[in-house]
Structure 1
Amino acid sequence: MPEDDDRLHGDRDRFAVGESGASGLWDWDIIAGLLRTDEGFADLYGIDRAAARAGVDPKLFFSRIHADDRARLKIAVAGILSGAEIFSKEFRIVRPDGTVRWMLGRGQGHQNADDEPIRFTGKLVDVTERRRAQERLRIAQTAGGVGTFEHIDGFATVAVSAQFCRVLGLHPTDVLPVTTINAAVCSGEGALIPAGYSADRVPPADFRIRRGSDGAERWIARRGEAAVDDEGIGHRFIGVIYDVTEAKEAQAQLREWNETLESRVEEAIRERSRAEDALRQAQKMEAVGQLTGGIAHDFNNLLTVIIGNVETVGRRLDSHDDPRVRRALDNAAKGAARAAALTQRLLAFSRRQPLDPKPVEVGRLLMGMSDLLTRAINESIAVHVPASGDLPHIEVDPHQLENAILNLAVNARDAMTEGGSLTIQASSDSSKREIVITVTDTGCGMSAETMEKVFDPFFTTKEVGKGTGLGLSMVHGFVMQSGGRIAIDSELGKGTTITMAFPSLSITPDVQDKDVAGFVDHNGSGETIMVVEDDEDVRAYSVGLLRELGYRVIEATDGEAALRLLERADQHIDLLLTDVVMPAMSGRELADRARLLQGELRILFISGYPREEIAKNGRIEAGIDLLGKPFGFVALSEKVRQVLDRPLSSDRTDR
């Protein structure tokens, strides 16, 4: 077979395919039905070299082809057997050991004088590594979002990768028209594939494109080089494109930040200054609040003694006594009442006043205040309280709400020295689930500087002696303590509107009006009351009043002394009347321990500053009875009788 070997080796140069992998030659004698190969082909296919050189059944060629590629290879070979001349295909073979390799086969058909096929020769090259490299490149391009392209100057098409098409939002393909690629670039951005490039390097460029798949605008970068084509056709432009939208947006944001850096620094300084001012204000308010609580405790004890003794002397005076003494006592009582009101305002401002919240229908409360408001305002001022209709209820202390509205009305009156109009109305803001109360006047208004300080304690624009400067600060403290918010809108010469807003209740509570009771006898019937008060003067005053009312009274100076008395088996107590703030043991602690000794024991607390013992977040706990200091004869007698007459089942509360 030397002639056949020479023929195979003679075909090696003719079928050179520029691949570096292992290769082999084949010669298929169509007439004889034998396939002869060289050693290289035999090794690639995994068959015996001697048998391959002598000739094997052509079916062996197809038996090694991967099942997924076999059909198209048979079609291609059938073309050669039908007279075609050129063969070029890539396909996979499965070697005897099970490994799969990629092959590139290039061959030629030969015919006799009658154009009948007689031979099929060619070269087989192992291109597995090239295919793997291509796959790695494809994966890298997809993962990195990099699309590749290759264009020869003057040609109307561009060879592209699948990722190139994805970046532009086009259907994946191997070739795209230049016009299609450049049409994706937004107007005025230039050409992605330029014409007439001849330099060794094409300058890098960024383009704004509109993706074909979704119409989204994106930024892409183009990088590449131009080189002389190997075949001398012209310049070849080889490059890549990738999405740089995020980088462009970051650059734009950085430019904007740099351009606005100065203004942002100034705003940050202003914000810090505002925060420092707010912190100083909060610290000042906290300090004043703590001071207020301590003062209120001691001051209310003093006022209790003063008011109580003034009342006692007043009750002892006969109608024929010196009227000057009566006037003196009346003036003393008025002064004490003003002092008590001032103390209450201090507690309200510091948000330490005990609140007794109840469901309140604001519209109805305002209508009930109409006469009071009219009497408190000058005749030169028209007072309007429009009907508000049915509004959701709010949960506030009704007496403190009335005080707040009255304070605002009086302030408005003082701002309208030459007359005007005052409107107080309530409305519902369903979007915020709030009930809004507005107090609007047509008075002199306020400057911006005044509005910044208007809620500060002791700040006032009135003349010396005309006010304490606690009215608005008291209103502010009450609203905030009740879980609401307050705002002020004013301008010099154009009046003022103050807005109070409170959370509305989601359900309508069952609120029934209580009939106004007539005269009730508040005297005692010999019941035993224990009075526990560390202030000697307040204790003496309270004990004296209770004995005057007909009660049997036992007194104790503190909680420990009271417990020792309660532990005596022969000592039955109907009511424990105890101060809240006492040294060593608070009134609340005393009440809890006393009920362990005598379960059927009623408790009445007295205090001018209850703190957190019985008022959580400023609200008196359910089931707690409190008589605020300073108190007089009537208040004490009514409250004691009320607690004693109440059934024990309604007096108890789990704590």
Structure 2
Amino acid sequence: MAATGASGAWDWDVSADKLHTDARFAELYGLDPEAAIAGLPTSAFFQAIHPDDRARIRIAVAGVLAGAELFSKEFRVATPDESILWMHARGQCHRDEHDEIIGFSGVLVDVTERKRTEERLRIAQTAGGVGTFEYIDGFATAMVSEEFCRLLGLHPASSLPIQTINGVVKPGQSQLIPDPRSGAIPDELEAIFQIVRNDDGADRWIARRGEILPERGGYRLVGVIYDVTAAKEQEAELRELNDTLETRVEHELAIRRQAEDALRQAQKMEAVGQLTGGIAHDFNNLLMAISSSLSLLKKRIPDDPQLHRMIENALQGTQRGAALTQRMLAFARRQDLKPEPVDIAALVDGMRVLLEHTLGPAWTLQLEFPDDLPAVVADANQLEMAILNLSVNARDAMADGGKICIAAEQENVLDDRIPDLAPGRYLKVSVIDSGSGMDIATLERATEPFFTTKGIGKGTGLGLSMIDGLAKQLHGTFTLTSDLGNGTTATLWLPASDEDPVSLAVSSITEVSDRACPLKILAVDDDALILMNTVDLLADLGHDVFEASSGQSALDFLREHPDVELLITDQAMPHMTGTQLAELARENNPDLAIILATGYGELPRDAQAKIVKLGKPFDQDELAKAVTQAMQISRN
């Protein structure tokens, strides 16, 4: 039998006539959890309801289907072990855009203990000794029974003064035996009094019942008293239990609403991330066509300084566009990262001159890095960009200048107090300013994509969302604390490393003159602009280049020309991806050098070894290096 007071959640899909529950609901109802979670017809739940309650619950269900907003009913359930439990089901309706009811969701609470308490209260109210009394108008005493005296803790007597009887009643209440001299003769004699027993000083509750009978121009009071202390205690316990259950129901519903809101927000952010990643990929392709054409055009135009300056400006524009796509990919968590142990103090110290020039003379830079800091697991280049971005944000928050502090400290996270951060050892890298700060509403939206407090044309709204995406891709997180008028602290939480920080490695790739070693290359891309520019860049390097617009046409060409030495292919193509093409191509030519050109961050999981990744957009120098690297790998 489930523990009393337990609660479970339920969702009713009206159109499918199925009720979905959680495991606790299934346990309370005595159902198979897997089946209940997957959803069962409502008839399966009616079967477990006590026969005497089914009709009443069916009427209530019909009422909510007819338009009632809330459902709240108590009923009995027969469990598989033949126990009878009392349940309280409570929920609210969900409507579609046409205001039609499409379902209900809520909680189920076991109220068996409360019902048992109510039964004990009912029994207590009719149990125990009963004392009798009789009072005739005009007398100062009342005739009482021996049990009457015992209940009030008075010495046994056949009659007692009204003043003595009423003296045991606590102040602020009416009289146990109404005194006609007080003018407080009630219309009826049913009431409950709190008394202090005369013999032992104990607090008790006494109930009085009786009637008022007219007699010779006056009246006569006849009635009984009995001890209801146990019932009052049970009543207090019942109130407390009811309050607890009501609080639990509200708490469960609040948690459910929060979970639903969090799910909707997560789905929204996932959709925005997918959209952003897709836009970045397409934008990369456009930048590829523009930048490669400009690079080739620059080589061929006359020696005209003005024309060269215009082309150089256009190339710088493509570089800025490429930086924006990196931010978009960072938000979508698709940029290419190379996590390694990094000395954060050395990294920031190496940036000092750049930071000071970027910030300007009105802003003072302060660095605070303890000597015993461990290395941090990060991509050094991306971490530099994040720190620079946060420093510029700090500068913009202090229009009249001020101090910007970049600090780091180690912290062991032992619990889940930091959202999205698993327990472990971390480095907190913080950028702190004393600027204008943010109010609560702005702080809550600060890391949303495309949200910015800067003026039109002064910010993309991707800076903080990019940093947040970077931190989470490195298995850390990003937090913001701010006080309006008192500054902001932006903190990157990144995993600490037990390894020594790495130095910049010298490339082992030998610089080979590609013009001296022309290759037979097949370029594959479903985008005609990208394909044309890739072919032109390779041809300008002196290679013999062929082209294909799909994976299947590339395979056909490779079968007819087994002397092709290198394949450069796009990854995201319809019908056949670049990695699938590479796998099939190497079945016939295991030594084929392969370059995978992609705008996404990481190589797909199905990518083979010995495939060189070339990120889009790329220039001619990057393409030449990728060709050299791919050929060296294939020959080793």
Q: Same fold (TM over 0.5)?
A: yes
Matches within 5 A, 1:33-182: none
1:635 aligns with 2:619: no
Conserved in 2, the CA contact under 8 Å of 1:533 and 1:578? yes
Secondary structure at the aligned position of 1:297 is classed as helix
Match in the other structure for 1:435: 427
Residue 598 of structure 1 corresponds to which residue in structure 2? 589
- Given that 1:367 and 1:387 are in contact with CA atoms closer than 8 Å, whether structure 2 keeps it comes out as no
What is the Cα deviation at residue 463 of structure 1?
0.9
Where in structure 1 are there 5+ consecutive unaligned residues?
1-197, 204-248, 650-655
Kindly report which structure 2 residues correspond to 1:527-542, keeping only aligned pairs within 5 A, or say none: 527-542=519-534
What are the equivalent positions in structure 2 for 1:447-466 lying under 5 Å apart? 447-466=439-458
How far the C-alpha of 1:573 sits from its partner, in A, is 3.2
CA distance 1:558–1:504, shift in 2 (3 Å): same
**Does 1:279 find its partner at 2:263?**
yes
- Deviation at residue 417 of structure 1 after TM alignment: 0.8
Deviates more, 1:574-583 or 1:364-373: 364-373
1:544 positional shift:
1.2
Confirm or deny that 1:514 pairs with 2:505. yes
TM-superposed CA distance for 1:335, in Å, is 2.4
Question: Which amino acid letter does the alignment assign opposite residue 566 of structure 1?
Answer: L
Instruction: Judge conservation of contact 1:363–1:390 (CA < 8 Å) in 2.
Output: no
| 2:287 match | 303
Aligned amino acid, residue 544 of structure 2: R
* Preserved CA contact (<8 Å) 2:342 2:501: no
1:270, CA displacement in angstroms? 5.2
Select 1:291's aligned residue among 275, 288, 291: 275
Q: Is the contact between residue 363 and residue 403 of structure 2 (CA under 8 Å) also seen in structure 1?
A: yes
Asked whether the equivalents of residues 614 and 621 of structure 1 are also in contact (C-alpha less than 8 Å), the reply is no
Equivalents in 2 of 1:476, 1:544: separation in Å? 39
**Alpha carbons 1:370, 1:385 under 8 Å: kept:** no
What letter matches 1:590 in structure 2?
L
* Alignment partner, residue 497 of structure 1: 489
Mapped contact 1:580–1:587 kept (Cα < 8 A):
yes
The match for 1:364 is 346
Output one character per residue of 1:428-486: Cα deviation in whole Å (capped at 9) or x when no partner.
Answer: 22453112211111111111111110011111111111111111111111111221111
1:498 Cα deviation from its structure 2 partner: 1.0
Aligned to 1:609, which of 568, 591, 600? 600
Alpha-carbon distance between aligned partners in 2 of 1:359 and 1:624, rounded to the nearest angstrom: 25
How high is the sequence identity, in percent, across the aligned residues? 43
> By how many angstroms is 1:318 displaced?
4.4
Match of 2:408 in 1: 426
TM-score normalised per structure 2: 0.57
| 1:474–1:610 CA distance, 2 compared to 1 (3 A) | closer
Code of the residue aligned with 1:475 in structure 2: it is I
Using the alignment, how far apart are the partners of 1:260 and 1:444 within structure 2? Answer: 45
**Map 1:405-420 → 2, pairs under 5 A:** 405-420=387-402
Are the structure 2 counterparts of residues 452 and 597 from structure 1 closer, same or farther at C-alpha, using a change threshold of 3 Å? same
Question: Any conservation in 2 of the 1:580–1:610 contact (CA below 8 Å)?
Answer: no
2:319 to 319, 333, 337: 337
Match of 1:346 among 328, 331, 346: 328
CA distance in 2, matches of 1:531, 1:411: 43
Q: How many Å separate the matches in 2 of 1:577 and 1:488? A: 43
**Partner Cα separation in structure 1 for residue 326 and residue 520 of structure 2:** 31
CA distance in 1, matches of 2:269, 2:580: 30
Distance 1:487 1:250, change over 3 A: farther
> How far 1:547 moved relative to its partner?
1.6
Matched letter for residue 282 of structure 2: D
Q: 1:600 to 1:400 in 2, by over 3 A?
A: same
Q: Which amino acid in structure 2 is aligned with residue 514 of structure 1?
A: A
Counterpart amino acid of 1:614?
A: P
1:316-364 deviation line (CA, Å, top 9, x unaligned): 3444x151x2332233223222222222212211222233333323233
Structure 1 residue 415, shift from structure 2 partner: 0.7
Aligned to 1:382: 364
- Displacement of 1:552 in angstroms is 2.4
Per-residue CA deviation, residues 39-78 of structure 1 (Å, 9 max, x unaligned), is xxxxxxxxxxxxxxxxxxxxxxxxxxxxxxxxxxxxxxxx
Q: What's 1:550 paired with?
A: 542
Once the two structures are superposed, the pairs formed by residues 392-411 of structure 1 within 5 Å of their partners are: 392-411=374-393
Cα–Cα, structure 1 residues 587 and 647, in superposed 2: closer, same or farther, change >3 Å? closer
1:481 maps to what in 2?
Answer: 473
Q: CA deviation at 1:495?
A: 0.8
Tell me how far apart the structure 1 counterparts of residues 267 and 440 of structure 2 sit (CA, whole Å).
Answer: 23
Q: Provide the rounded CA distance (Å) in 1 between the counterparts of 2:362 and 2:514.
A: 47
Change (3 A) 1:261 1:442: farther
Q: In the alignment, is the contact (CA less than 8 A) between 2:566 and 2:592 conserved in 1?
A: yes
For 1:349 and 1:310, locate their aligned partners in 2 and report how far apart those are by CA, in whole Å: 29
Q: Give the distance between the partners of 1:494 and 1:510, measured in 2 at CA.
A: 36
Structure 1 residues 560 and 388: CA distance shift in structure 2, 3 A: farther
1:585 aligns with 2:567: no
| Native 8 Å contact 1:354 1:615 kept in 2 | no
Per-residue CA distance 1:392-411 (angstroms, 9 max, x = gap): 33433222222222211111
Q: Does 1:471 find its partner at 2:463?
A: yes
Aligned residues: 406
Partner amino acid, structure 2, of 1:420: G
Q: Residues 402 and 202 of structure 1: is their aligned pair in 2 closer, same or farther, counting only changes over 3 Å?
A: farther
